[in-house]
Amino acid sequence: MHRKTRELLELDRKHVWHPFTQMQDYENMYHVPIVGAEGIKLFDAYGNYYYDTISSWWCKVLGHNVKEIQRAMIKQMRKYEHVMFAGLTHEPGIRLASKLIEITHPGLQHVFYSDNGSTSVEVALKIAVQYWTNKGIEGKNRFICLENGYHGDTLGAMSVSGTSQFFDPYKALLFDAFRSPSPYCYRCMYHESAGYCDYECLVPLRDMLEKAHERIAAVVLEPLVQAAGGMIVYPVEYLDRLMKIVRQYDVLVIFDEIATGFGRTGKLFAYEYLDDSPDILCVSKALTNGTLPLAATIVTDEIYFAFYDDYLKGKTFFHGHTFTANPIACAAALKTIELIEKKNLVKKFSKKRMVIEKYMGRLENFEFFGDIRSIGTIVAFELVKNKKTKERFEKAKRISWQICRSSLRYNIILRPLGDVLYFNFPLSVKISELGEIFGIFERYASEEITTICGNGDGL
């Protein structure tokens, strides 16, 4: 190892606290030092390359080092890098808002900017509660969410996420929410088969609304894919029925499309599979292709004008962030959307789906892949100890941790969700790259994953 690289990594180990990481695990090893990126590949300081099969936590929808986006950012940077967005405005923020309105449902008409996925959800929750207050309806300040859902790590977002070990230390800080069963077809609590049930998991939701709709401000969920909950892909019919149930009551619908937006489900937005649309839409991650933090919470006229009144009536939405609508981030977002549209990437990905489905078929018979589920750019493999009984692995074996580390030897970066391995490819991935990645993964599954799962002693 080069001396400067070692010195840098020693500083990293000494001073940097990495996210979702037990730092003691790195007491005798280093994080991988990335020094370059191109397309779907990352390059480290040792001369190795890795396929970034998870799009760097799902935001690199166009891959790394996109020159057109970089040029747009530099052009904006030469004009001005940042200005306050209260009392002032700027062209990139205006044009991006207009573009978001253009590409989303006609019912969504107003954009409120923030700086990441969690904050876009916080904005949505606060808007939903104040909306009812502004309309003179008191007491509608509770939410319904789904088990296994995940909406971020800020307090409000955690409060409406599913139960998770991540949140246990903070339970005393969270507000109560109603939780409806997850549409987790592989582990259906009613022991039904996907596509052959009557969606009994929606009965508790209906009961909650029937009994408590006067206290419920909104239902908040991730449409079609519960991402951080384990890439749980669920049927369109479930979502369609859910919307029909909710619409019978005076309750808002918030769609968290932070992970599903911009082509991840095979359409630009997951709600496009429905006839209905949400009252509030949250987007982030792929919005800037991961170049800079930016998020948007998009609402209907009905919601916006509930806040539009004489100042002394106290209906103003008192919320903001220092970096709201950062002009460079907005320029990056505009170029990202332009490239997705100009290159017709969402539609063209359907051809790549054929490659994905072919390899999914080849991997179905692996002993420890209990379930393989997929939609759009996403493929997930749920690891089980016993395929017949769906028995999970013991937590102490740390199966996913072992796999996460060993995948590097096969030039693939994985970041499992529990015992769920997954790919989340950029729309721009080449068919030849998909073939190479799946070929490597098939060999990796045979040689390494099978060993790790078989005895838990793979490392």
pLDDT digits (tens, 9 = 90+) for 318-343: 999 999 999 999 999 999 999 999 99
**CATH no. of 68-342:** 3.40.640.10
Does the global pTM surpass 0.95?
A: yes
Every domain of the chain and the residues it spans: 32-65+345-455, 68-342
Q: Tens of pLDDT along the chain (459 residues)?
A: 789 999 999 999 999 999 999 999 999 999 999 999 999 999 999 999 999 999 999 999 999 999 999 999 999 999 999 999 999 999 999 999 999 999 999 999 999 999 999 999 999 999 999 999 999 999 999 999 999 999 999 999 999 998 677 888 999 999 999 999 999 999 999 888 766 789 999 999 999 999 999 999 999 999 999 999 999 999 999 999 999 999 999 999 999 999 999 999 999 999 999 999 999 999 999 999 999 999 999 999 999 999 999 999 999 999 999 999 999 999 999 999 999 999 999 999 999 999 999 999 999 999 999 999 999 999 999 999 999 999 999 999 999 999 999 999 999 999 999 999 999 999 999 999 999 999 999 999 999 999 999 875 443
Q: What are the residues whose beta carbons fall under 8 Å from the beta carbon of 253, sequence distance 6 or more?
A: 218, 219, 243, 246, 278, 279, 280
Q: Provide the pLDDT for residue 457.
A: 46
pLDDT for 458: 40
Q: What is the pLDDT of residue 193?
A: 75
- The pLDDT, as a whole number, for residue 45 is 96
Considering the domain delimited by 32-65+345-455, tell me its CATH architecture.
Alpha-Beta Complex (3.90)
Q: Per-residue pLDDT tens for 102-145?
A: 999 999 999 999 999 999 999 999 999 999 999 999 999 999 99
